[in-house]
Amino acid sequence: MPTCKADPSITRQENEGFKFPLGAYPVEPMKPKAGYSMHFEQSDGGGEEGDWEEWPDRYLFDCVVSAERVEPLFRMLTTLLPGRVYPILDILGHDAFREIDPYISYDLVGLDRMTDAVRRYRDFLFEDGLCGFGAMSEEPFVYIFVDEHKIITVRVEPSLKERVEKILASFDLEMMDEPAGADAAAHEHRSVLWMPDDRPELLGPDEVVEQLRDDWQLLLNVDPDTNVDDDGKDLGITLWRCVARCEFEKQPPKYAEIVLRASSLRAAEETAFDAVAALGGDEADSWQDVFIVASDRLKPEQIGALKGPGKRSKVPGGGSGFIIASRWMEG
């Protein structure tokens, strides 16, 4: 079964017995402090953003522990969750205009299904400095998230406050104003996965994200009909790189790469579907399904020699896209 493994050549940083994650570590002197802070957050109330923004009154806990204790603490905290949850995944990805790719499931997923994947990809989720993950539930309201620094944020409705405190006490954690992990000083992030050529079962970051998107039914949580940067600036038409997975019934999938111009995520993905259908020709009739596994915006210098107006593709309801190039990917 595919899995992943941290690069054994990476040395873990440690300070006074506090171990930092392999993928997030300070680059200046600091004194780490294990512990947690707690704050009360008032209900957001109704709004125009939809149910996902309407969180109830809740207590917020930010928990800092040494790297070897992050996974055990996370597992204890998942006992607060019901049997079905909404998984969450944040990735410091490849998009040129967005720092973090935020994924969430809008369908309930079995907690056992989520935790099975956490075990399988533990070195990525608990050590890599380019990802954060977690889960939430509405009844009861629980939000648990392990960020890219491997600091655990917990939000719970007031009735669960005492249970959280008991879990943290079982880890000998004390409440303090400012617990300090890697993010309390100048620090670096890095990806840590080991991908030797002779170990094809060991996945890289992009492959793990693809697996988690499938397992947890994740969708990119951005407005599909706009094209803005992290500051909300409208970018208009931009370059995109999309990767499509074409699935067969009895043979491994094939992957296609499409470079295009489009005015929104929806337009980019619809244009990518058009491009891969044209690329497949008669073979497309044998595909069981096609999935877009990556949709990243590019800056002009990132596509090198690929130029020209390309082939226009009309996209119903989502604007129009222009296919610049498409090809089958090797491997």
The tens digit of pLDDT for each residue in 165-209 reads 999 999 999 999 999 999 999 999 999 999 999 999 999 999 999
Q: Which of 209, 225, 203, 188 is nearest to 88 (CA)?
A: 209
Percent helix, percent strand, percent coil in the chain, to nearest 5: 25, 35, 40
216 domain-assigned: no
* Helix H or strand E encompassing 116: helix 111-120
Inter-CA distances, 172 with 63, 65, 175, Å: 12, 10, 10
**Assigned token pair, 277:** 């259908």
Model pTM above 0.75: yes
Domain boundary among 189, 207, 239: 189
Domains in the chain: how many in total?
2
End-to-end CA distance of the chain: 18
144-153, 177-186, 251-260 — most confident range: 144-153
Is residue 293 within 8 Å of residue 308, measured between CB atoms? no
Structural domain containing residue 143: 14-189
200 domain-assigned: no
Q: Is 270 exposed, middle or buried (0-12, 13-18, 19+ CB in 10 A)?
A: buried
Q: Judging by DSSP bridges, how do beta strands 152-156 and 14-15 pair with one another?
A: unpaired
Instruction: Let me know whether 42 and 185 are in one domain.
Output: yes
Q: Which residue has the tokens 């967005």?
A: 98
Cβ neighbours of residue 259 closer than 8 Å, sequence gap 6 or more: 239, 240, 241, 242, 298, 303, 306, 323, 324, 325, 326
Is residue 202 within 8 Å of residue 5, measured between CB atoms? yes
212 domain-assigned: no
Domain boundary among 134, 168, 189: 189
pLDDT of 80 strictly over 50: yes
Instruction: Let me know whether 46 and 171 are in one domain.
Output: yes
Q: How confident is the model at residue 320 (pLDDT cuts 50, 70, 90)?
A: low
Q: Which of 177, 120, 181, 94 is nearest to 146 (CA)?
A: 181
267 domain-assigned: yes
The tens digit of pLDDT for each residue in 103-123 reads 999 999 999 999 999 999 999
The tens digit of pLDDT for each residue in 274-312 reads 999 999 999 988 999 999 999 999 999 887 644 444 455
Largest pairwise CA distance in the chain = 64
Inter-CA distances, 37 with 6, 20, 137, Å: 30, 19, 22
Domain boundary among 189, 216, 250: 189
Inter-CA distances, 138 with 48, 77, 271, Å: 19, 16, 36
9 domain-assigned: no
**Assigned token pair, 165:** 């405190």
Nearest-10 Cα torsion for 316, 225, 269, 137: -130
Instruction: Let me know whether 152 and 265 are in one domain.
Output: no
* Helix H or strand E encompassing 30: none
AA identity, residue 324: I
Q: Is 19 exposed, middle or buried (0-12, 13-18, 19+ CB in 10 A)?
A: middle
